[in-house]
A and B are shown apart, each in its own frame.
Chain A
C-alpha cells in the first residue's frame, strides 16, 4: 500500500446513525488533516493533527469527532448528522504541519450522503 487510503469510499447514513471514516497514510508523515469538499465551495479545513495531537479545529460542529491514535491513522466519527453534511471528506497528510512547502498528499475521499 502506498500513499493515503480512505475507507469507505461511499457512505449513506440516516441522521440518527453513528459511523466512522478511516484514513491511513503510508508515507511516514507526522501531520494529518480532514477537509470537507462541497460543490462550488473552497475546500474547508476541519481538523489538523501533528504527531497525534490536535493542533487546529476550525469551528466544526461537535457531531464531527476526530481521533488520531497514532501518526499513521486518522478517524472521523460521525453522529447525528444533517443533510447539509453530505459532501466528499478528504484526508491528507504532510511531512510536518509547519513544513515550508504547503504540499499535502490526499486520499481519494469518502463520499458521504446523509438522508
Chain B
C-alpha cells in the first residue's frame, strides 16, 4: 500500500464548470476525511465518512459540494458551478479509527478557478 492517493494533483477550471476529485485511502482504513486548505491557513474540515456512510458535513460544504464513498473504499468530491473562492488545496485523509495511529493525508488536489 502506497498511502493515500489523490487524483488529479492539479486542476485548472473555468468559473461555472463542475469538477470532481478522487481519493483512494489506505485500504484497511475505514475512516475518510476531506479538508480544504488555502494559503497560510490550516486545513478546514469538510466532511467525514465511516465506511460508506457520510456521518458529518461542515457548514462550509455548500449545496454545490457533494461527496460520496460508494463502496467504502475510494471517495469522490464534486464541486458544481465552481467559483473563484473555491480555489484551494483539497486534502483527503484516512484513519484506521485509532487516534494514536494518526491520520494519513494524501498529497492533495490543487484547484484553480479562473
Real complex partners, A and B? no
Binding site for B on A (CB under 8 A): none
Binding site for A on B (CB under 8 A): none
